[in-house]
Structure 1
Amino acid sequence: MTILLVEDDEVDVMNVKRAFKKNNISNPLVVASNGIEALEVLRSVSPDRPRPKIVLLDLNMPRMGGIEFLKEIRQDPELSSLSVFVMTTSNEDSDKIEAFNLNVAGYILKPLSMDRFISAVSTLNSYWTLCEFPG
């Protein structure tokens, strides 16, 4: 199962990759640096490039931020059922409320220490390993 990471910060991208490696997560990881790129990834599927079923989403990004991206995918019948986990520095209640109103599966605050981040990714892996996703 492919996972889409929507993140504009290279250090955070490297931290996610490191946490995947530490947790022996071998799922393919596709990276987009903003919501517009992420939509292109999600809408350009082919037999050799399946659509990601899980999205790890930063909220604060250029061009199209996370909340805007969430609104867009929730209005698209092809994408509305994606499982989205927000991973962000925003501790604003308004962002949390808006994200949960847009049916996010979870909201994780950054920055965590590397150990806590690895643990959080391990928990996410347990979640998506246990869940059954439609074909």
Structure 2
Amino acid sequence: MPDDNNVNSIILIEDNPVDVDLTLRAFKMRNLSNPIIVLRDGEEAIRWMEKLKDGAPLPVVILLDLKLPKYSGLEVLKYIKSSETLNGVPVVVLTTSSEDDDVKQAYKLGVNSYVLKPVDFEKFIDVAVQIELYWSVLNKPGIR
């Protein structure tokens, strides 16, 4: 079972080490206080999510890349949104894919937001700030 230090955590599901580093640096620059849990592929993400069903604290938001090894981001999203325990956790797709089919499928599966990763670091920081502000401060989560 994940430990209780993961209260108010943000889960980042991302296989690209550069994107992981950019995301972590962007949040660190903003002094984000939420713990960030990095999961590197779809299989690891699903295994970790299984542990949440044992009563561990749910994350405040899941940041999900679509292009993952082992299980795609869409498969992970389908798993999350079909789980009675996890389906209320907000999921933000954070990806480079602007393909219409990916966007449509993600919303069909229940994604809460679909954000394209900016290439420029300063713009990436802006995106991280907006994600943090909305999902960690402004959004009122459902009762869990």
TM-score, normalization: structure 2? 0.86
Q: Alignment partner of 1:112: what SS?
A: coil
**1:103 and 2:110 matched:** yes
Contact 1:86 1:108 in 2 (8 A): yes
Match of 2:88 in 1: 81
Q: 5 Å matches for 1:5-20?
A: 5-20=12-27
**1:132 and 2:140 matched:** yes
> Partners in 1 of 2:111 and 2:12 — Cα distance?
14
> Partners in 2 of 1:4 and 1:62 — Cα distance?
17
> Partners in 2 of 1:80 and 1:108 — Cα distance?
19
Contact 1:70 1:102 in 2 (8 A): yes
Give 5+ residue unaligned stretches, structure 2. Answer: 1-7
Match of 1:42 in 2: 49
Identity %: 39
Q: Alignment partner of 2:124: what SS?
A: helix
Cα-Cα RMSD: 1.5
Query: How many equivalent residue pairs?
Result: 134
TM-score, normalization: structure 1? 0.91
Give 5+ residue unaligned stretches, structure 1. Answer: none
> Partners in 2 of 1:26 and 1:53 — Cα distance?
12
> Partners in 2 of 1:107 and 1:22 — Cα distance?
23
- 2:70 corresponds, among 60, 63, 71, to 63
